[in-house]
Structure 1
Amino acid sequence: MRRIALGFGWLLGALVAGLVGVGIAATISPRPASVVLRRNMDRHGSARFVATAPFVPAHVVSEIDIPYRPGDRDARLDVHRSTGSDGTLPTIVWVHGGAWLSGSKDLIANYLRVVAGEGCTVVGVDYSIAPRATYPTPVLQVLDALAFLTEHADELGVDADRLVLAGDSAGAQIAAQVIGVVIDPGYAASIGAHPRVTRDQIAGAVLFCGVFDMSLARGLRGRPRWFVDSVMRSFTGSADYLDDPRFAGISVVNHLTAAFPPTLVSCGNADPLIGHSQSLLTTLEALGVPHETLLFEPDHEPPLGHEYQFHVYTDAGQLALATMQEFVEGLD
């Protein structure tokens, strides 16, 4: 019996030591937390990819894994277009979400095909994820993707004079910041960006469930704060992401101007990021930027969580598609 007790004590000690080791590792490096978070988020993304497959129209064709940045293995994009398109609609360039440390264009490819089925060209852009690549790498990559699309517009079937920058979650932040640095040379200089596209090329923005105002993180406590701290430490490489001026550009609400293009903003009523969309809308309103919204009453049933728009098999998902189509069709 004593031998069994000693064996159990050794096992318990090993488990405790292992947990302590993980905790210490998470303190020293953002990698342990990022691996766990990425695995969980990508699992949900894979499930959405499968669930969206039945809604993909047969008339949509895709060119996949087109390299847009020489020597950058992560810099690839897909082009989805409807064979029945008459070329009258802008091209949507979509930046995927995933808290900057997960996700890919592949996981949302079926959704982008559904969007393309309405008659427009849709481009899905991949970028390097954290912690292997940190801020502002994704913004610089997407800027290069826009330049590539401009240079190869005819062969890709892209209207480079009418681009709609779109994104979800972290991708919405990247898309909004890309537009911001194209418009504002000072914003561009703050991250060492040299845009090769112009404001005149950007017809609009479509932003779902995005992250736009990092000051909101200061009010978080408990697990939500742990999540945000883990994500931002992975993305920035710093625990001082809220006060270090190197990362001020992440809060796009502080850098927008009246030249920002017409924008559609949407978020679910049960999305923990709803405050970010509200902050963005307040900023757009103050600047006089034309904007439309798809928001829901606080007591909307069923509750609509983060990335609700990808659930195309729901009424809310269909409403998001229809609203986006109407918005894009109305752009000059």
Structure 2
Amino acid sequence: MKRLFLWILGIIAVLAVALFLAFKLSPWPTVLVIQYAFGKGDAASEARLVKHVPSGIFTRTDLPYGTGPAEVFDLNLPPDATGPLPVIVWVHGGAWIAGSKAGVANYLKVLAGQGYATVGVEYSTGYGTSYPTPVRQVNAALGHISANAADLGIDPSRIILAGDSAGAQLAAQVANIITDPTYAGQVGIAPLIDPAQLRGVLLVSGAYDMQAATVPGGDMSWFVNTVLWAYSGVKDFVEDEQFTLASVAHYVTPNFPPAYITSGNGDPLSPQAERLAASLSGMGVPVSSLFYPADHEPALPHEYQFNLDTPEGMASLDKMLAFLRTTLASP
């Protein structure tokens, strides 16, 4: 019996060491836990939005824009849509390693109810996917949507690129690729739509400076280090020359498209959004922004805008729609 007990203890010790090494040598075991948590959060957000979705939205799901299993998108059209519509192409969040287009599906139906075509883009987030694959995929999705505009019922000359959280970073980076040939050359991705087609961007609760997100000893440092290690594919991602290009705030130019930018006052990423808005405004880029003072109560969390049961969530939606009307009406 004693020998059996020692044998069991030995197995437990080996498994414990193996588990410890797995978490130390790779970010992906921790990522699995994060992916599960994000999935729960997305489901709760979608459930809250159901009552805000207008009736009659026509939806086509899992339309391919490439050959990969994650290279699909959903299309929403308002009831009785006639003629080609301006399109909002939305890139979902999830810290670059989680989330899915299903997590923003109802919000995009709410926007479609305002007379827009809306597209939810899927991209790769699983094990083995690293930067800049999602950037290439979002660019490819735009190219496909533009090339197939007639079949989709959209106007390819009136594209809005949007995103939340990590999706906002991806949207901002792709927008910069489209509007700045020098930056596109540095990243090594040729844009698949013309700058004139991209009429504006919606950037919600995003991260735009990877270095600023990695504050040593911060409450979220373990989370940030894990997801950026996984996404960049490099443990020392701060020193990786190619990954520094993902800090799009350092590379924007006056050619960046008009932008709507918002973050909640309880969101640790809010300072990045505020700096980006100020930088773009200083360059003469038209910017509509919504930020709240630090002492606003209740403190608005990351992605507060998806909660349309709050006055702040509705205020963000109203200001977003006003931005869209103004931007899409401009020549």
Are residues 1:80 and 2:70 paired?
Answer: no
Equivalent position to 1:305, from 290, 301, 319: 301
Shift in alpha-carbon separation, 1:16–1:47, aligned structure 2, 3 A: farther
> Separation in 1 of the partners of 2:127 and 2:142?
24
Are residues 1:148 and 2:144 paired?
Answer: yes
The worse-fitting range, judged by mean Cα deviation, of 221-230 and 91-100 is 221-230
Q: Structure 2 stretches of 5 or more lacking a match?
A: none
Asked if 2 retains the 8 angstrom alpha-carbon contact of 1:89 and 1:328, the reply is: no
SS in 2 for 1:219: coil
**Deviation sequence 1:251-286 (CA, Å, 0-9, x none):** 001111100111010000100111210221232123
**Deviation sequence 1:158-205 (CA, Å, 0-9, x none):** 121011110000000000000111112222222321212110001001
Q: Among the aligned pairs, what percent are the same residue?
A: 39
> Separation in 2 of the partners of 1:204 and 1:36?
35
**Matched letter for residue 249 of structure 1:** L
> Separation in 1 of the partners of 2:154 and 2:179?
21
Q: Structure 1 stretches of 5 or more lacking a match?
A: none
1:289 Cα offset (Å): 1.0
Equivalent position to 2:54, from 49, 53, 57: 57
Which position in structure 1 is the counterpart of 2:38? 41
**Matched letter for residue 46 of structure 1:** A
> Separation in 2 of the partners of 1:301 and 1:290?
29
Alignment RMSD: 2.1
1:223 Cα offset (Å): 4.0
Which position in structure 1 is the counterpart of 2:101? 105
Equivalent position to 2:222, from 212, 226, 238: 226
Shift in alpha-carbon separation, 1:264–1:230, aligned structure 2, 3 A: same
Asked if 2 retains the 8 angstrom alpha-carbon contact of 1:212 and 1:279, the reply is: no
1:57 Cα offset (Å): 0.5
Asked if 2 retains the 8 angstrom alpha-carbon contact of 1:78 and 1:124, the reply is: yes
Which position in structure 2 is the counterpart of 1:216? 212
Shift in alpha-carbon separation, 1:197–1:18, aligned structure 2, 3 A: same
> Separation in 1 of the partners of 2:201 and 2:218?
33
Q: Report 1:149-168 matches (<5 A).
A: 149-168=145-164
Are residues 1:132 and 2:128 paired?
Answer: yes
**Deviation sequence 1:220-276 (CA, Å, 0-9, x none):** 314411111100011011111111101011100111110011101000010011121
1:19 Cα offset (Å): 4.6
> Separation in 1 of the partners of 2:308 and 2:10?
49
Are residues 1:182 and 2:178 paired?
Answer: yes
> Separation in 2 of the partners of 1:63 and 1:329?
25
**Deviation sequence 1:1-51 (CA, Å, 0-9, x none):** x98xx96x9988876665543331122112101101111111110111122
Are residues 1:26 and 2:46 paired?
Answer: no
Are residues 1:195 and 2:191 paired?
Answer: yes
Asked if 2 retains the 8 angstrom alpha-carbon contact of 1:269 and 1:296, the reply is: yes
1:55 Cα offset (Å): 1.3
Are residues 1:291 and 2:291 paired?
Answer: no
**Matched letter for residue 63 of structure 1:** R
The worse-fitting range, judged by mean Cα deviation, of 264-273 and 24-33 is 24-33
Asked if 1 retains the 8 angstrom alpha-carbon contact of 2:214 and 2:225, the reply is: no
TM-score, normalised to structure 1's length? 0.92
> Separation in 2 of the partners of 1:14 and 1:222?
36
Asked if 1 retains the 8 angstrom alpha-carbon contact of 2:70 and 2:123, the reply is: yes
Shift in alpha-carbon separation, 1:264–1:18, aligned structure 2, 3 A: same
> Separation in 1 of the partners of 2:89 and 2:149?
13
**Matched letter for residue 199 of structure 2:** A
> Separation in 2 of the partners of 1:222 and 1:268?
19
SS in 2 for 1:44: helix
Asked if 2 retains the 8 angstrom alpha-carbon contact of 1:97 and 1:168, the reply is: yes
Asked if 1 retains the 8 angstrom alpha-carbon contact of 2:162 and 2:201, the reply is: yes
**Matched letter for residue 43 of structure 2:** S
> Separation in 2 of the partners of 1:72 and 1:21?
33
